[in-house]
Chains A and B, each alone.
Chain A
Amino acid sequence: MVVRACVIGGYGINADCELRDAFAMAGSEAARVHVQDLLDRPSEIDRYHILAFPGGFSFGDHLGSGRVLAALFKRHLKEALDRFVSSGRLVIGVCNGFQVLVKMGILPNLRGGWTPEVSLIHNDTGLFEDSWVRLSFNRASPCLWTRGLAEAELPIRHGEGRFIVGSEEIMRRMEESGLVALRYEGRNPNGSLGAVAGITDPSGRILGLMPHPEAFLRPEQHPRWARERFEEGQGLALFRNGVEAVRRNL
């Protein structure tokens, strides 16, 4: 079957082209769709199997990262998105996209109903940072995107990636259900609670993560490609997992 991925763009989103390329390399048909076109016609997403929220500065992150775009989606697309996910389709948010998902409340969504339970706030350094980090994936996670992955190096490029939770209870439940899909190894670049770098929802179909898997599709994107051998970009497997999960389940 042809797996179709919808990568949203516009309003200050800026890592949409490489995210589209990632889905294309992973074997799906990927299209960039302007946010406004989705808001105007929410049913448009039914044409796709994967909905991807790229990195960037949607609305400048002016009222807090991802918040204005999250409010627009929640207002106009909640029903369509609930239907999308419950029919077995997949959602991913990278960096600003992760911030949008969290602020909509669709992640982790332990209680259902999209009530925000966790957040991503200013890095504990107070600074934007672009650097590569080591990550480990949680083998016990139900996340379809990270299935079978062990570790990777990917870049982070954010000023607001510090993961916090509304209560200890939320963290406990997330840990119990394996919803922490990936963590920083070694250095924790932003002061995230539990070194959390990415989380999934109880269905495992939605993944949000601060590091950029779409920025490591080819060996020479790694900062040490001239010193070490890489068979392929370590971000690619994640997109293959997503496309594969759609093929298997739909």
Chain B
Amino acid sequence: MRVEVAYKSSSLDGRARRLLPGMREAWPEASSLRIVDVYLLDIGRELPPDVAAEVFADPVAQEVSVDGSLLAGDPDPDALIEVTSRPGVADPVAATARQAIEARLGAALPPESVVQTAVQYVLAAGGRGAEAGRLERIASSLHNPLIQQAVVLSGDDWRAGARFPPLYPHRVAGSMAEVETFAIDSFDDRALEELSRDRLLALGIEELRAIKAHFSSEEIRREREAAGLGRLTDVEIEMLAQTWSEHCKHKIFSATITYRENGRSETIRSLFATYIRRTTEELAARKPFLRSVFKDNAGVVEFDAGHLLCFKAETHNSPSALDPYGGAITGIVGVNRDILGTGKGAKPIFNTDVLCFGFPETPDAIEGHLHPARVLAGVHRGIVDGGNQSGIPVVAGAFVFDESFVGKPLVFCGTGGLLPSEVLGEPGWTKRVEAGDLAVMVGGRIGKDGIHGATFSSLALDEASPTSAVQIGDPIVQRRMSDFLLEARDLGLFKGINDNGAGGLSSSLGEMAQLSNGVRIELDRCPLKYAGLAPWEILVSESQERMSLAVAPDRIGELLALASRRDVEATQVGVFTDSGRIEVLHGGKLVGMIRLSFLHGGLPAMRLDAEWSGPRRVRLQAVPGAARPSGGLAGTLLALLADPSIASKEPLVRQFDHEVIGQSVVKPFVGERSDGPSDGAVLRPLPESVRGVTVTHGICPGYGAIDTYHMAMCAVDEAYRAHIALGGDPDWACALDNFCWPDPVESARTPDGRFKLAQLVRACRGLREACLAYGLPLVSGKDSMKNDTVLAGRTVSIKPTLLVSLMGMIPDVRSAITSDFKRPGDRVYLLGETRGEMGATSFERTGGASGDDCPRVRPDEALAVYRAFHAARRLVASCHDLSEGGLAVALAESALAGRLGAEIDLEALARASAFDRGQPSAEERLLFCETPSRLLVTVPASDAGPFERFFAGLPAAPIGTVVEGARLSIRRGDARLIDLSIEEIEAAWKAPLGKG
């Protein structure tokens, strides 16, 4: 049966009001839109109409029709479009609808019953039909053909009696249930490579040879024969491919690299060990708050005597390129699970989202790819739905726009969590898994969604990319599971916990098995969404909302009982052993057996070459559609404020719940009208304590156009100086490194691989140097190394990008500092030296001559200023860190936030900063250069003297005064440089994303 529900009048439907203007761009005659929610039921019985109405419709606001049409009696529509999910794609609304029907009937529906949902868009255009192509354009804006289908009916179709189907296809094609085997010992290199390509394994020839050698060895053969197992099975090769994927094993970061520069050559054994882990190890002695780093799903640090914090960020780039909405949701709920699976299980308390897109105004996208505006809209809506429904606030993040992200967007999702220092007498950051413990899968069921996600993200995106790699997370199912897991944790019902992410069960249980030294998995026990999954698919599927637990046999009854009371599916799927092996059974037969030592240690190290021959300068392009600025320096400032990377993101960010759970102290927006940008977040995670957490970011892919070494140092500095600007403790902070790189392995497809790898080496060096100088231990990280798009033979590679996410401590949240000017009469200072670097800065996008000086960090000098600022912080009224667009943009933002003006004179600063003559001019450099490590600070006039005493011998230039009357005027001596009203600043800064 078909149940249709709609608002009684379209004037009540805010969604229709939001969508209609976009549709009218495609079809100007369209005058009204009605949105109908459709439920399609095949449940073995009829629901009486009044029962259907009760379940599906709001009697005050909506009307409902059962097996008829809501449109009866209305004038005929001029177009109808109905959108529904493709078979096998998760549909959270349908799942709730089923639950609601069952609750109303007081009985479970038969297992074969079908509940589907669709959304119908009904357009009227005064009786005029749409010209050819218009409805298709609207339909394509309403659905993503990868995961959805749309049916279009014209007004004429409708009048001729055409209707939408009573049910859409829902069956998923089954796979072979048989296990396939391979005579790998007889495979030559070509056959090996074919195997990898045909099955999308993304294994390199060295790895394939290692697998062949292992399974051909006499010892392994005998072992397998004894166990009744013959040739290598598909279960095994798939398990190895997922575990050995770039995504899971970070092969490039573990590779042995020969790095050449100026004729000198150096061997680096593992970038990770050399530059990242070693940095943290060297800092560990003076950072007593470190608890668990690089080992678990997230880094763990001590917050106070009773609590630990953990933090993790991941990327979800490839899925977001294909399905921006589902990709973003899955990114969020995926990293939330990392936190849930950290230590004994932590509670997520904040999310971060750092997003890199091509410019929304890009004139045309690449054939076969979603336009950047569409990607932005989809990712944004995914965060709105995924983040808000999860009940975890999005507290900080960034939107970065660059032409190189047009093929693949970067979607960095981070989550922080809180867990008790001790859970029932054991340290909260530890896990235990022992032989004899039961392996339990909790949460959603397994389907064909998300097969090959881990290997897929290790391949370049092209037309042949598998759609099964796309999944849609359900934040509500996950929320139910999270609540249950935290309750079970506090009751001591499980000993070990891990998330099911990339690689599914093969990866989660494979990792946990290292603690007990073995696991036996029974695939027949795994709950499936539908029949027809091959054994290997069950093992590697990445279906969402699943966690794995190790449960002592004497607690299993209690655990399962609680799960059932909390409406969460929990199933024992195996048992942990100490056999040294991972064993997989199907139909009572052994179908896979791999030694853990080989699974986790058999991967041969890659050998790679890197060569640095100096910068290959790439100029930053102008923002598409932006006019070249006129009107002198003021015009340049307005153009910078309108650069989408700098402009206000308020219309987008206001749609994120950034306050739920009530911990926010410094929110994304600050100031008189709460519309000024903050430098980051301050949270108070425990109501009983004033101790706070800062969350900040550093990301500056533009600078990599000159040198990724400086880019990395600047990213660290940006995150650290924002922490300082907020009032954070200089000695208490930790960070995550997330690298997103174009493929740095030389090949026919990537002829410049050596250069890209050299860029990676240099970024790692910059990261290490800055972190050591600032005492910033790296506690977790992740990399995504294949961010290239191949379409129509052309490779589009992203700019090398490093995101530094910082989590710090502020001893008392009541002394946190915000960026808005506070009172007329306050003195304005610029802390830190201005050196005038303009190369690859935002200024370059305005078309000005910018030169090739990339902003550089001098960490020792910077740290002296940061420490002095921290000591003086109680005298400070406002502080804003300088980033894109330099001093002028920071002044404009602080003035706007405070709705106060400022009179600024740069003469003293100009004298302190000796610039070369010529282009760019000294004034341009003073106003717009992006020298890092600088803070814009205001101080009440009465405190100016004491404040200055903290900066004896340090660069702290008095540059003006905050004034009543909302004008920002900047001069140099007698020369007026900029004179703008706050209204002009606001108009420019809020224009680009003003439509939301």
Contacts and interface: CB of A to CB of B under 8 A. Distances in A.
Given A11-B480, A72-B103, A60 B389 contact: yes
Contacts of A215: 659, 662
Most buried by A among B16, B657, B666, B671: B657
Nearest to B59: A116
A126 interface: yes
Nearest to B62: A64
A22 B114 CA distance: 43
Contacts of A40: 565
A122 B15 contact: yes
Most buried by A among B389, B392, B474: B389
A224 B669 CA distance: 10
Nearest to B650: A131
A12 B480 contact: yes
Interface string B641-680: 0000000000000111111111011110111101000000
Contacts, number: 188
Given A121-B7, A223-B669, A130 B658 contact: yes
A63 B674 contact: no
A219 B479 CA distance: 30
A67 B104 CA distance: 12
A119 interface: yes
A57 B478 CA distance: 12
A67 B58 contact: yes
A191 interface: yes
A228 B842 CA distance: 35
A201 interface: no
A9 B100 contact: no
A226 interface: yes
A225 B814 CA distance: 9
B693 to A, nearest CB: 13
B938 to A, nearest CB: 12
Given A60-B96, A119-B58, A164-B61, A221 B674 contact: no
- Interface SS of chain B: mixed
Given A36-B567, A125-B18, A119 B480 contact: no
A60 B60 contact: no
B483 A126 contact: no
B96 A59 contact: yes
Contacts of A116: 58-60
A244 interface: no
Contacts of A106: none
Give the size category of A's interface with B.
35 or more
A131 B476 contact: no
A105 B565 CA distance: 27
B68 interface: no
A36 B565 CA distance: 7
B61 A221 contact: no
Interface string B807-823: 00000011011101010
Contacts of A62: 92-93, 96-97, 476
Interface stretch (A13-21, A85-93, A172-180): A13-21
Interface string B454-478: 0000000000000000000011100
B384 interface: yes
A61 B391 CA distance: 13
Contact of B14 (A9, A119, A121): A121
B661 A128 contact: no
A98 to B, nearest CB: 14
A238 B632 CA distance: 55
A227 B822 contact: yes
Interface in B1-41: 7, 12-19
Nearest to A160: B14
A165 B996 CA distance: 29
Given A116-B59, A162-B14, A164-B60, A75 B654 contact: no
Nearest to A125: B14
A166 interface: yes
B660 A55 contact: yes
Contacts of A122: 12-15
Interface of A: 9-15, 17-18, 21, 34, 36-37, 40, 55-57, 59-64, 67-68, 71-72, 75, 103, 116-119, 121-132, 155, 157, 159, 162, 164-166, 190-191, 212, 214-215, 217-218, 220-221, 223-227
Given A130-B654, A223-B667, 17 more contacts: A12-B480, A21-B662, A57-B479, A62-B476, A67-B58, A116-B60, A125-B18, A126-B14, A130-B655, A130-B656, A157-B659, A218-B684, A220-B665, A220-B684, A220-B813, A223-B674, A224-B674
8 contacts: A11-B567, A57-B475, A59-B96, A62-B476, A67-B58, A68-B103, A121-B7, A128-B388
Which 6 residue pairs across A and B have the least CB separation, nearest first? A14-B391, A126-B18, A18-B662, A62-B96, A126-B14, A122-B14
Interface of B: 7, 12-19, 54-62, 92-93, 96-97, 99-100, 103-104, 384, 388-392, 474-476, 479-480, 483, 565-567, 654-662, 664-667, 669-672, 674, 684, 687, 813-814, 816-818, 820, 822, 898, 996
